[in-house]
Amino acid sequence: MPIRCVYADLDGTLLGHGGSLLRDAEGGFTLMPVRALEACHRAGVEVVLKSGRRKAQVAEDARLIGQSSYIYEVGCGLVVDGEETLLLGGDVERAEGETVFEAIERAGAPALLLERYAERLEYHDPWHRGREISHLFRGLVDAVEVNRLLEEAGHDRVRLVDNGAIAPRETLGGAAVLGADPHVYHLIPRGASKADAVARHMAARGYAREETIAVGDSREDIDVAEHVGRFFLVANGLEKDPDIRSAIVRHPNVQVTEARNGEGFYEAVVGALMDAQR
């Protein structure tokens, strides 16, 4: 069966060093991710970006690669051909005129986490600014433990999701203090996820599971494997977070690429397109 759609994460996957489409994991120049996008275009395959970035950022990235659908803020929002849908699950109560971000802040969950994990978690400055839905953090915590804390404290309408490893940050002391590279975390409405947003897009387009693949680098990305035919974890995702194996084993359709970042994206996409032609 031919592939009709590729769901692609941005940071750590399609993008390389410094968040650049034209840089590999070490900062060297590469055209591999662009060639993978070209292969999709030639085969008539839609590419849908799924990212933790804000709507304005992902919208511009989608425009730059010539695509009209995208998923932003870790699945809290989906845009299909200009039509936007918020996927919040009705989990967060808002006052009139209040954004989801403001409602979460008012309820006190972000303050609780920053206080309880003061040495291990901080806002992901400056990218946490100007957000309308999710609160963005960096650090290194056990998301399962954090979500248990949130539930016990009465914040059961939100959850913390792990969206992958990032480069060390001086403000956190790096791996020497944390024990490993920090991760990016999003505090979002409990009902939102990249996996749900992908499923919603597939339904809107009428895609069958076997007609889709996804590529990513994080635990939150791997959950998308439940809905797509094949999921590819780029090599850097496993290298930076060896414990991610526990998420991999839950899905028999997950494959780890040999290459990192955009070159891993190329390996996944071109390989899958060739397999579909056989």
Q: pLDDT tens digits, residue range 228-255? A: 999 999 999 999 999 999 999 999 999 9
Higher pLDDT, 94 or 43: 43
Tell me, yes or no, whether 12 lies in a domain.
yes
CATH assignment of the domain containing 82 = 3.40.50.1000
Tell me, yes or no, whether 143 lies in a domain.
yes
Q: pLDDT tens digits, residue range 48-87? A: 999 999 999 999 999 999 999 999 999 999 999 999 999 9
- Owner of token pair 């897009």: 201
DSSP 8-class letter at 23? B
Q: How confident is the model at residue 263 (pLDDT cuts 50, 70, 90)?
A: very high
Q: pLDDT tens digits, residue range 127-149? A: 999 999 999 999 999 999 999 99
Q: Which domain holds residue 179?
A: 100-189
Task: Mark whether 199 and 180 lie in a shared domain.
Answer: no
Beta bridge partners of 70: 49, 79
Task: Mark whether 227 and 112 lie in a shared domain.
Answer: no
β-strands 46-50, 212-216 pairing: unpaired
Whole-angstrom distance, CA of residue 96 vs CA of residue 144: 32
Q: In 3-state terms, the chain is what percent helix, strand and coil (to 5)?
A: 40, 20, 35
The whole-number pLDDT of residue 174 equals: 59
Whole-angstrom distance, CA of residue 70 vs CA of residue 74: 11
Number of domains the chain contains? 2
Tell me, yes or no, whether 92 lies in a domain.
no
Higher pLDDT, 190 or 92: 190
Max Cα distance, the chain (Å): 55
